């Protein structure tokens, strides 16, 4: 009889253990974690290509015509700094020869305003203002060369055009 009691006690203990384990694993276990996130101000500019402007012919009594390159240079721009947050400025590395003008017309990305053709100097000039949040590629830039007859003959030369995105 003692053996039967021991078997019953052990059997009852085993059932309790099984029930206890089953009940504990059925309850969900949760916890939390803090996730910190941030998007920083990002402004990027990339110029692509090269331009060539060459005055080669004219009409008697009319002076020299201007020459324009509207397909050689484009730019890509990305900006997430907000409405009217940026503008484009530009310059050339050294002054143009006497009686000549090199101008640039930078097409504005969506929502911004182009200054149209602006004569380039060795000092920064405003080219596009009011740049909002934008992401555009292949935006057109045109260069125009103007010269008077007083400029004479000018051998082929180059200028380095620098365009910069700055705060408005």
Tens digits of residue pLDDT in 9-41:
545 555 445 555 445 568 999 999 999 999 999
The verdict on residue 2 lying in a domain is: no
**Total number of domains in the chain:** 1
CATH code, 68: 2.60.40
The verdict on residue 76 lying in a domain is: yes
Q: What is the largest CA-CA distance in the chain?
A: 135
Q: Identify the domain containing residue 119 by its residue range.
A: 43-167
The pTM of the full predicted model, rounded to 2 decimals, is: 0.81
Asked if residue 90 lies in contact with residue 126, where contact means CB atoms within 8 angstroms, the answer is no
Which residue, 123, 130, 105, is CA-closest to 115?
Answer: 105
Token reading at 50: 């090269």
Report the pLDDT value the prediction gives residue 142, as an integer from 0 to 100: 98
The verdict on residue 109 lying in a domain is: yes
Report the percent of the chain where pLDDT is more than 90. Answer: 84
Q: Report how far residue 75's alpha carbon sits from residue 45's, in angstroms, rounded to the nearest whole number.
A: 7
The verdict on residue 110 lying in a domain is: yes
The verdict on residue 99 lying in a domain is: yes
Report the pLDDT value the prediction gives residue 6, as an integer from 0 to 100: 47
What is 113-137 written as a DSSP string?
EE--EEE--SS-EEEEEEE-SEEEE
pLDDT digits (tens, 9 = 90+) for 60-83: 999 999 999 999 999 999 999 999
Measure CA 152 to chain center.
41
Q: Report how far residue 69's alpha carbon sits from residue 59's, in angstroms, rounded to the nearest whole number.
A: 20
Please state the rounded mean pLDDT for residues 93-119: 98
pLDDT digits (tens, 9 = 90+) for 42-64: 999 999 999 999 999 989 999 99
Which residue, 81, 97, 100, is CA-closest to 147?
Answer: 100
Report the pLDDT value the prediction gives residue 36, as an integer from 0 to 100: 97
């Amino acid at each position: 009889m003692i053996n039967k009691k021991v078997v019953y006690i052990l059997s009852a203990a085993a059932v309790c253990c099984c029930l206890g384990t089953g009940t504990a694993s059925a309850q969900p276990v949760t916890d939390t974690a803090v996730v910190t996130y941030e998007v920083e101000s990002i402004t990027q500019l990339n110029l692509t290509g090269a331009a060539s402007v060459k005055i080669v012919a004219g009409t008697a009594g009319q002076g020299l015509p201007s020459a324009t390159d509207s397909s050689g240079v484009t730019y890509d721009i990305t900006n997430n700094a907000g409405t009217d947050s940026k503008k484009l400025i530009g310059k050339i590395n050294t002054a143009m020869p006497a009686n000549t003008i090199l101008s640039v017309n930078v097409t504005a990305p969506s929502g911004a305003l182009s200054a149209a053709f602006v004569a380039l100097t060795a000092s920064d000039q405003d080219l596009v203002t009011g740049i909002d949040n934008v992401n555009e590629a292949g935006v057109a830039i045109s260069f125009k060369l103007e010269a008077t007859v007083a400029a004479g003959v000018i051998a082929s030369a180059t200028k380095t055009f620098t365009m910069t995105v700055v705060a408005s």
